[in-house]
Chain A
């Protein structure tokens, strides 16, 4: 009996739960978070709105910024669906089948995470640039890839290739192949099995991966700045436009453009919180987006 009582006493204060330690640790974390994570967010909105809401909207309506927003949206509209297709195909092949080289393939899928976007941009230049691998062929065909929309989309796809796949692979690994095997044995076609059995099980993970991917495509700076050529009013995506405005000492304009991307980022985080709370299939905390 005595042992049980003292056992209970030990459980009351796990390490770090004493009132003083708790207050100190929590205090340090909250102050650092305020300084490092909250202050930049607050500054973006306060700088953008510092000259009033009318000036803010005038800055956003500037033709250069408008064009940059349009280009960014177009790039995302092409890159994100292709990435979803790749993510589904990659996850389907590595989780529903066992084949030699599977582990290597998973490592390859995650490779873009560890490569600097600048390296990705430079690498694309050596494929599609005038002195690149396909440079001569592209010139003969008369297609413009480098310093134009195709290169922007391709570089964005490189950087975000793992996003959807990374959400799906751990989830589909846990789910296994039983349900699909049952469906196929009962006579369902491959396509029907995929649409009616697999997809409903992973739809929230697909949505979450797609939204993360979208935020990154819209915000990608390093890779895009190498391959876009940065032609004013033509190949500047929104992050590049922010840099141009900043170099022109138009800080208010730069911050106005930055609020658009900040809003996209905050929306992405909001969706993540909502999905984690309400759906059972996305509580994996995969680091590395």
Chain B
């Protein structure tokens, strides 16, 4: 390590490590410690119980549905923001940040009011026979709302940087619009798109505030993992809470590794493109 002339290394690194240690790592270690106290057979019993399995299934499938929706809407939104000029574009660009800035409890409350029987959308939808609030569909919508910006904000800069020269090259070789889209543009934005989708999925798996308002929270039907953890705590069943929380932590780490791998691939892709 080359010694830097700039002072303050020890102080800044000390503050950083102290803060991370006390605020982030200590609680995570305590959680893992608590879960390891539980014992493997009991742990297996908690996790393989029908209610836990159902909560995991509901959470994962609805997060996947939310991510699928965000993939399409987010991609179109990013395209429109990067490529089109139209009045109100700045407002649309700012609106993309609403789900990040708006507290999840407020989002949950508003979505529930919109989609329940007496709501602006819930009334017309129910007369068409579609129930949204207090069903798994409601969960998916709440998850989609809170994670829309991930896809848009990862893909948008890549489309902006893409430029039109590759398209022109494709066109000069006689490719049709669809061929250019599929063979030239989509491969270029795919790594970023995948990274945005995995971020969106990861966020949906852990979402709590927005979902519990709209889900109806019926065990075995519309109960998500985060809520089940919370319920076990309120029942003072700390072993079960720790066990389920560790499963959520494991899912988060898995998604983190996947996202990082995708982003590393993305970066390699971008540098190759520039060379």
What string of 1s and 0s marks CB contacts (under 8 Å) between A24-54 and chain B? Answer: 0110111011011111110110010000000
- Considering the complex, give the chain B residue whose CB is closest to the CB of A100: B1
Name B20's contact: one of A100, A109, A133, A180 (CB within 8 Å): A109
Within 8 A of B (CB), among A70-112: 82, 85-86, 88-90, 92-94, 96-100, 105, 107-109, 111-112
Whether the pair B7, A222 counts as a contact (CB closer than 8 A) is no
Using a Cβ cutoff of 8 Å, how many contacts connect chains A and B?
299
Within 8 A of A (CB), among B80-113: 80, 83-84, 86, 90, 92, 94-107, 109-111, 113
A118 on the B face (CB < 8 A)? yes
Separation of A118 and B241 alpha carbons in the complex (Å): 10
Cβ–Cβ contact A93 & B110, under 8 A: no
Given A10-B172, A40-B111, A219-B102, does the pair A29, B77 have CB atoms closer than 8 Å? yes
The segment from B126-134, B201-209, B267-275 found at the interface with A is B201-209
Is A60 close to B, CB under 8 A?
Answer: no
Nearest CB of B to A166, in Å: 12
Is B218 at the interface (CB under 8 A from chain A)? no
CB distance from B125 to the nearest CB of A (A): 11
Chain A residues near B33: list those with CB within 8 A: 126, 133
| Contact partner, A11, options B13, B154, B168, Cβ 8 Å | B168
Given that A193-B6, A226-B233, A258-B106 are contacting pairs, would A123 and B30 also be in contact in the complex, using a CB cutoff of 8 Å? yes
Does A69 sit at the interface, judged by CB under 8 A?
no
Interface pair B23/A36, CB less than 8 Å apart: no
A161 within 8 A of B: yes
A228 at interface (Cβ–Cβ under 8 A)? no
Q: Which residues of A are found within 8 Å of B8, using beta-carbon distances? A: 92, 96, 190, 194
Taking CB atoms and an 8 Å cut-off, the chain A residues in 100-136 that contact chain B are 100, 105, 107-109, 111-112, 114-120, 122-127, 131-133
| Count of A interface residues, CB-CB < 8 Å | 108
- B245, A123: Cβ atoms closer than 8 Å: yes
User: Contacts A28-B76, A123-B31: A40 and B157 contacting too (C-beta < 8 A)?
Assistant: no
Q: Judge whether A262 and B73 touch: CB under 8 Å.
A: no
Q: How far is the CB of B25 from chain A (nearest CB, A)?
A: 8
Q: How far in angstroms is the closest Cβ of chain B from A125? A: 7
A98 to chain B, nearest CB (A): 6
A161: contacting residue among B9, B24, B149, CB under 8 A: B24
The answer on a CB contact under 8 Å between B80 and A26 is: yes
Beta-carbon contact of A39 and B256 below 8 Å:
no
A28 to chain B, nearest CB (A): 6
Contacts of A189 in B (CB 8 A): 7
Cβ-based interface call for B44 (8 A):
no
Assess whether A144 is interfacial by the CB under 8 Å rule.
Answer: no
Q: Are A287 and B97 in contact (CB under 8 A)?
A: no
Task: Given the known inter-chain contacts A14-B167, A126-B242, A287-B153, please indicate yes or no for A272 contacting B97, CB distance below 8 A.
Answer: yes
* Partner among A35, A239, A273 whose Cβ is within 8 Å of the Cβ of B121: A35
Query: Does A231 make an interface contact (CB < 8 A)?
Result: no
Q: Is the CB of B16 within 8 A of A265?
A: no
A266, closest chain B residue (CB): B101
Q: Which 7 A-B pairs have the closest CB atoms?
A: A219-B103, A116-B206, A190-B7, A123-B27, A221-B209, A89-B15, A222-B208
Supply 17 further A-B pairs (C-beta < 8 A) apart from A26-B80, A218-B103, A239-B103: A10-B172, A11-B164, A16-B181, A40-B111, A41-B110, A89-B13, A89-B15, A90-B12, A93-B9, A93-B13, A105-B20, A118-B206, A219-B105, A221-B208, A222-B209, A242-B109, A265-B102
12 contacts between A and B (CB under 8 A): A14-B164, A18-B177, A39-B120, A43-B114, A122-B245, A219-B102, A243-B105, A251-B113, A261-B102, A266-B101, A287-B150, A289-B100
